Amino acid sequence: MPKHQLAEALLDKIRTRTVRSGVIGLGYVGLPLAVEFARAGYATTGFDLDATKVQTIEDGRSYIDDVSTADVADFRKRGLLRATTDFDVLRDIDTVNICVPTPLRKTKDPDLSYIVSAAEEIALRLHPGMLIILESTTYPGTTDELVLPILERSGLKAGKDFFLAFSPERIDPSNPTFGTHNVPKVVGGMTDACSSLARELYGAAIAQVVMVSSPRVAEMVKLLENTFRAVNIGLVNELALMCDRMGIDVWEVVKAAATKPFGFMPFYPGPGLGGHCIPVDPFYLSWKARQSGFEARFIELAGAVNGAMPHYVVSLVSDALNSIRLPLRGSKILVAGVAYKRDVDDIRESPALDLLTLLQERGAELSYSDPHVRMLPARHWQGGVDMKHVDLATVPSGTYDCIVVVTDHSKFDYAAIQRSGKVVVDTRNAIKEPGPNVVRLGAPRVATTPALV
């Protein structure tokens, strides 16, 4: 079939809602996208190697807070959503979105093994007229330098026999205002036909589609967005360190600066960066820049500042314990919040994991509390032990020598945190009425010395 006929045939399937869509990777990005495709009327199949996730969806239940079980059950009942571990089902799929993880290696180089595996699975079942869209965050050039050659091993050619595009995911877990449906979708295709088909596919499921000229532009868009945040967080983290030396409350400074109606956007300091995107994406960009002979010094400096924040928090903990004449070694320390951001259960790249490791190396006796993360398996941090969530409501006053607020969950009882810890280190300005036993990151120390307990 000529290429224009292949494109027209797929376009007709999309518009008549007879298209069979597939999503590889059913995590925080893939499952919400699959649900939106199902909501748009596409018969959607999710692919994942995790049999537990697949079975949960097949049973009509959700395992992600941003996706309701009611929606999953409804779309399963109507035959619009299914999940499988069998990649041979791709032979019957018209469109495939790749939503797999793209972590960093320990050397801070991109690990694209999940993308490569997904592309190879598709290549084995690639058929004329198929549309493939990569959504995983990666460096500019991944779509045409890595994914395209793998797919074309099949003998089919992009833009002629099949269609290929990149569209960066822009998920913000637990955001009550912006989700998959109403966050504009940036799309860049290998050819005009690739772009047009991708735009049509998303158009029924996403409120706004923004077209760019190529996959490389779309890839760079995502890296710019998250590097912008990482650099500005690095700036305010450095300002917090500066304010600490100068006896100025950085939180008061940012709050006042934010009253300016133009030319300023507030960012806030913290114990370090977390989540899959913001700690990772700038390194993807600087790595690719080095391949082109360019040194991204500004970006890497921000990364160094942010990466050092857990070490600074350890120094705050040590100082707070010294104020009540206790050493760090042997002290009972509880970390409040191990998820990377408030009110989510995602611990990927959480600064709490680095902080726990640093405190353990210094001989502290560790516990943690997080209403969203009931178990912290040993494999998720370098401490080598499994840990269980501690319910602070059941803890007597003064149980812990120090409590460190790392994640400002709305479910936390901050009054109970102050009661349970002899001293408290607040890295998020979460405690709105701090007592004399509270030390805040980036704020002057309270003059009153806590009584010895």
Query: Which sequence positions are flagged as catalytic?
Result: 277
Q: CA-CA distance, 132 to 410, in Å (whole number)? A: 40
- How, if at all, do strands 95-98 and 81-84 pair? unpaired
Contacting residues for 111 by C-beta, under 8 A, at least 6 apart: 102, 103, 104, 105
Q: Are 132 and 98 in contact (CB under 8 A)?
A: yes
Q: Are 129 and 59 in contact (CB under 8 A)?
A: no
3-state secondary structure of 164: strand
Residue whose tokens read 């913290």: 270
Please, which contacts does 62-67 make with residues 24 or more away whose CB atoms are closer than 8 Å? 62/31, 63/31, 64/27, 64/28, 64/31, 64/32, 65/173, 65/174, 65/344, 65/345, 66/28, 66/32, 66/171, 66/173, 66/174, 66/179, 67/31, 67/32, 67/35
3-state secondary structure of 189: strand
Distance of CA 347 to the CA centre of its chain: 9
Whole-angstrom Cα Rg for the chain = 24
Among candidates 394, 448, 450, 441, which has minimal Cα distance to 422? 450
